[in-house]
Amino acid sequence: MRILNLKKTIFEKKRMYFYYLIIPFLLLIEGRFSLDVNISWISSYILIMAANSVSFSWINNQVKLFKIHIEYFWTYMAILFLTVALFPIGYILFGVYGLPVFFGVLLVAVIMGNESAMAAAVTLSTVATVVGNGSFNVFAVYIISSIGAVFLTKKFVRRFDFSKASLWSLIITTSMLLSLEIGFYPYQIHLKDLIIGGMNPFFSMFLAVGILPYVEYLSRIYSDIGLIELGNLSHPLLRELSIKAPGTYFHSVVLSNMCENAAQRIGANYVLGRVGPYFHDIGKIRRPEFFTENQHGVNPHDSISPMMNYFVVVSHVKFGEELSKKYRLPLLVEDMIKEHHGTRMVSFFYQKALSENLNVSPDDFRYPGPKPRTKESGIVMLADSCEAAVRSLKSPTPSKIRNMIEEIVNRIYNERQLDDSGLTLKDIDQIVEEFSKVLSAMYKNRIEYPKNPKEVERVIKLAKM
């Protein structure tokens, strides 16, 4: 274990050197392909290195997913390289305000969030400054317009949000260019700069929209727009699930409803909360009859040993993971598949093994994990157990449902399955409330119609009064 940790630390350090020293150099070489760059190599290298080190240290500490998945690091870097590779073209064709800084910032914002986009804006605006021969105006215009546009748009859930961000960038760029030119050089407004600066965000947007599906496919880091497409239930895996395991399909749809509401309530990613649960039990496509929700009287578990029972049940996680790789599902959806049972015990079959006097330990009957590492994944784990338990209630009422949910959530919390998820106690309280609402609306008893004719008459009379 210690050797593994040591190896990990060395790799982390190497990655840091690579990022702090080599990447700025490569970005610099790319950027200096632009003509007329007079600033010295050493000065430009120091500028880019400083900007890059500060911005990347910031996201490395702030954005948890960079620590969980190495793909975030490589994708972020690839987007920076791609953007800077386009700088010489923009510069030669349109001049210093034609650099597609917004293209890179927008792409990072859409797939990794606004915090990461802010870091990308710092690095890309600094490289643009080098191309602009150290001009403060260039730096100010690019960094403020790109960060401002992304934060004013807040979330990229619809395609229209791309246009909204570009419009914000256009407004900020042109107003900044106007005020800088009027402030520093009265009566010398460069119309060409204004037009190019204003059009640049739109060209960048078209480019970003066009390249987004390729980035998603290659990196398996999906934007909310890509996730919504995936969640329209026409994915081949979901169609297969609905035919082979209709019970699991129904369970997944209910879970999706629960997780979306809970994620929205606690401020987590509700699009991921809705789409991830559709796929969480996708591994049940293989041997669906071994899972309660798909059984109709016959339970094939009765004819095999407890250890075999355990292997069959646990295999749905492993097989689900294989399918998610094969179909290139988003990394965060794959996480939900692997983490929705955490390292919990399959207690039913453990008890069965004990009753058959087998020499087993509780650890022989655990899911392989890992425990949920994101809030959304933690919500799926809670929803999964709550839905199954509430479904098994004999005559569910809202209070029975609420008590059952509280009991299940407390149990999972006390097993410390949620330790790495980032869910707070306040989050958990709100999740319980949302689950109770959704499940009560679904499973509570319907008021029965009176069967006695006299009773029916009495009700009708009362209704007429």
Give CA–CA dist 32/84, Å, rounded: 10
Instruction: Candidates 177-185, 376-384, 396-404, 416-424: pick the segment binding Fe ion (CB under 5 A).
Output: 376-384
Asked whether 330 and 227 are in contact (CB, 8 A), the reply is yes
Where does 253-382 show beta strands of DSSP type E? none
Task: Compute the 3-state secondary structure of the chain and give helix, strand, coil in percent, each to the nearest 5.
Answer: 75, 0, 25
List the interface residues with Fe ion, window 141-170 (CB under 5 A): none
Give CA–CA dist 147/136, Å, rounded: 17
Question: CB of 311: closest distance to Fe ion in angstroms?
Answer: 14
Size of the site for Fe ion (CB under 5 A): 2
Residue nearer to Fe ion on the CB measure, 246 or 267: 246
Reported residue count of the chain is 465
Question: CB of 338: closest distance to Fe ion in angstroms?
Answer: 10
List the interface residues with Fe ion, window 274-293 (CB under 5 A): 281
- Angle (deg, nearest 10), helices 114-131 and 136-153: 160
Q: How far is CA 143 from CA 103, 138, 147, 255, in A?
A: 13, 9, 6, 41
Asked whether 287 and 330 are in contact (CB, 8 A), the reply is no
State yes or no: residue 335 binds Fe ion (CB under 5 A): no
Question: CB of 392: closest distance to Fe ion in angstroms?
Answer: 14
Residue nearer to Fe ion on the CB measure, 63 or 233: 233
Residue nearer to Fe ion on the CB measure, 98 or 283: 283
Q: What tokens were used for 166?
A: 């570009």
Question: CB of 341: closest distance to Fe ion in angstroms?
Answer: 6
**What b/e readout covers 434-457, taking b as 16+ CB neighbours within 10 angstroms?**
bbbbbbbeebbeeeeeeeeeeeee
Asked whether 408 and 385 are in contact (CB, 8 A), the reply is yes
DSSP characters for 47-101?
A: HHHHHHHHHHHHHHHH-THHHH-HHHHHHHHHHHHHHHHHHHHHHHHH-GGG--H
Closest CA to 49 of 78, 16, 76: 16
Question: CB of 280: closest distance to Fe ion in angstroms?
Answer: 6
Question: CB of 344: closest distance to Fe ion in angstroms?
Answer: 10
Question: CB of 335: closest distance to Fe ion in angstroms?
Answer: 14
Question: CB of 381: closest distance to Fe ion in angstroms?
Answer: 9
- How many CB atoms sit inside 10 A of residue 247's CB? 18
Residue nearer to Fe ion on the CB measure, 168 or 279: 279
Instruction: Candidates 117-125, 273-281, 344-352, 425-433: pick the segment binding Fe ion (CB under 5 A).
Output: 273-281
Question: CB of 261: closest distance to Fe ion in angstroms?
Answer: 17
Question: CB of 437: closest distance to Fe ion in angstroms?
Answer: 20
Residue nearer to Fe ion on the CB measure, 321 or 384: 384
Residue nearer to Fe ion on the CB measure, 169 or 235: 235
Q: What tokens were used for 287?
A: 């041997």
Q: How far is CA 298 from CA 48, 202, 281, in A?
A: 67, 61, 21
Residue nearer to Fe ion on the CB measure, 193 or 281: 281
Instruction: Candidates 11-19, 23-31, 140-148, 379-387: pick the segment binding Fe ion (CB under 5 A).
Output: 379-387
List the interface residues with Fe ion, window 16-75 (CB under 5 A): none
Residue nearer to Fe ion on the CB measure, 281 or 427: 281
Residue nearer to Fe ion on the CB measure, 59 or 341: 341
Residue nearer to Fe ion on the CB measure, 248 or 436: 248
Alpha helices in 340-392 (DSSP H): 347-355, 375-391
Question: Number of helices (H) and strands (E), helices first, in the chain?
Answer: 21, 0
| Binding letters toward Fe ion, positions 383-422, x by CB under 5 A | -x--------------------------------------
Residue nearer to Fe ion on the CB measure, 281 or 321: 281
Give CA–CA dist 228/363, Å, rounded: 38
Question: CB of 247: closest distance to Fe ion in angstroms?
Answer: 10
Instruction: Candidates 382-390, 422-430, 432-440, 454-462: pick the segment binding Fe ion (CB under 5 A).
Output: 382-390
The site for Fe ion (CB under 5 A) is made up of 281, 384
